[in-house]
C-alpha cells in the first residue's frame, strides 16, 4: 500500500497558501498548470470568486458537525486539485471549514494534479484524472478512503447532460447552477457519511 506522508509534508500546501498561490499566479497571467490560455485564466478567475463566496456563505450543517465531533482519532486530508477546476472551487472551501472546526482532528493539505501525475493516476475516476480528489490518511500516512471528484447527485446530472449534448461549456454552466441551488448540501451529506464510517 502506498504511503503519502512524504508528499503531504513536503509538497502539501495549507489552504491559505493554496488560495494565495492561485491569486498570485493569476496576477501574473498564469494558471496553476502549464496551460496559461485566456480560457484557463477565465476559469481560474471565476473559481476565485466562487471560493470567496463559499468561504463567506457556506455553513457546515448539524449532521456533518456532529459526525466530526464523534471522531476520536486524528486524520490528514490530502486534496488533489487545480485552481482552474470548477468542481474544486465548489467543494474545497468545505474542507477548510471542517479543519477549522476541529483542527485537533484534521490536518489539511493541497497538491496540484498536473505536478503529481503519478499520484492522480493512482486515483483515477472511470479512467480519467478527475479532480478534486481528497485522500483521507491516518497518522502513518496510509490511505483510509478517498472521495471525489463531485457528489453522486451532481455526477448523475452531468452524465445526463453529456448524453444530451457534447457542449462542454453548457455542461459547465448547468453544473455550476446545480451547485448554486444545492448550496453544498449534497457534498456535506457525502462527507458526513464518509466521516461517520471512518471509525466503525
Q: Quote the cell numbers at residue 6.
A: 512524504
Domain span including residue 34 = 5-196
Q: Quick count: other Cβ atoms within 10 Å of Cβ 173?
A: 12
d(CA 103, CA 122): 28
The predicted-structure confidence for 84-118, as pLDDT tens digits, reads as follows 999 999 999 999 999 999 999 999 999 999 999 99
Residue written as cell 478512503?
145
State residue 54's pLDDT score: 98
Number of folded domains that form the chain: 1
d(CA 94, CA 113): 19
d(CA 100, CA 105): 10
DSSP alpha helices (H): ranges in 28-75? 38-57, 62-70
Q: Are 150 and 87 in contact (CB under 8 A)?
A: yes
Region for residue 184 given its phi and psi (left: phi exceeds 0; alpha: psi -120 to 50; beta: otherwise): left
pLDDT exceeds cutoff 70 at 1: no
User: Which pTM value belongs to this model?
Assistant: 0.94
If pLDDT is split at 50, 70 and 90, which confidence band does 55 have? very high
The predicted-structure confidence for 118-150, as pLDDT tens digits, reads as follows 999 999 999 999 999 999 999 999 999 999 999
pLDDT exceeds cutoff 90 at 191: yes
| Best CA proximity match to 13, nearest among 89, 85, 111, 84 | 111
Q: Are 32 and 83 in contact (CB under 8 A)?
A: yes
Q: The dihedral of CA 132, 134, 135, 137: what is its sign? A: positive
d(CA 93, CA 15): 8
Would you call 132 exposed, middle or buried from its count of C-beta atoms within 10 A (0-12, 13-18, 19+)?
A: buried
State the CATH number of the domain containing residue 185.
3.40.30.10
Residue written as cell 476541529?
102
Measured CA to CA in angstroms, residue 55 lies from 33, 72, 95, 136 at distances of 24, 27, 11, 22
State residue 57's pLDDT score: 97
Amino acid at each position: 500500500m502506498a504511503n503519502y506522508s512524504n508528499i503531504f509534508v513536503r509538497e502539501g500546501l495549507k489552504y491559505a497558501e493554496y488560495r494565495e498561490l492561485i491569486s498570485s499566479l493569476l496576477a501574473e497571467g498564469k494558471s496553476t498548470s502549464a496551460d496559461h490560455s485566456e480560457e484557463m485564466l477565465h476559469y481560474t478567475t471565476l473559481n476565485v470568486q466562487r471560493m470567496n463566496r463559499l468561504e463567506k456563505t457556506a455553513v457546515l450543517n448539524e449532521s456533518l458537525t456532529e459526525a466530526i465531533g464523534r471522531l476520536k482519532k486524528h486524520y490528514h486530508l490530502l486534496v488533489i486539485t487545480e485552481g482552474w477546476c470548477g468542481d474544486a472551487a465548489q467543494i474545497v472551501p468545505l474542507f477548510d471549514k471542517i479543519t477549522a472546526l476541529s483542527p485537533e482532528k484534521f490536518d489539511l493539505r493541497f497538491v496540484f494534479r498536473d505536478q503529481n501525475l503519478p499520484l492522480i493516476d493512482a486515483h483515477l475516476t472511470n479512467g480519467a484524472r478527475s479532480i478534486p480528489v481528497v485522500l483521507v490518511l491516518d497518522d502513518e500516512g496510509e490511505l483510509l478512503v478517498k472521495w471525489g471528484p463531485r457528489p453522486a447527485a451532481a455526477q448523475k446530472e452531468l452524465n445526463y447532460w453529456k448524453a444530451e449534448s457534447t457542449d462542454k461549456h453548457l455542461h459547465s454552466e448547468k453544473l455550476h447552477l446545480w451547485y448554486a441551488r444545492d448550496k453544498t448540501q449534497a457534498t456535506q451529506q457525502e462527507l458526513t457519511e464518509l466521516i461517520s464510517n471512518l471509525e466503525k
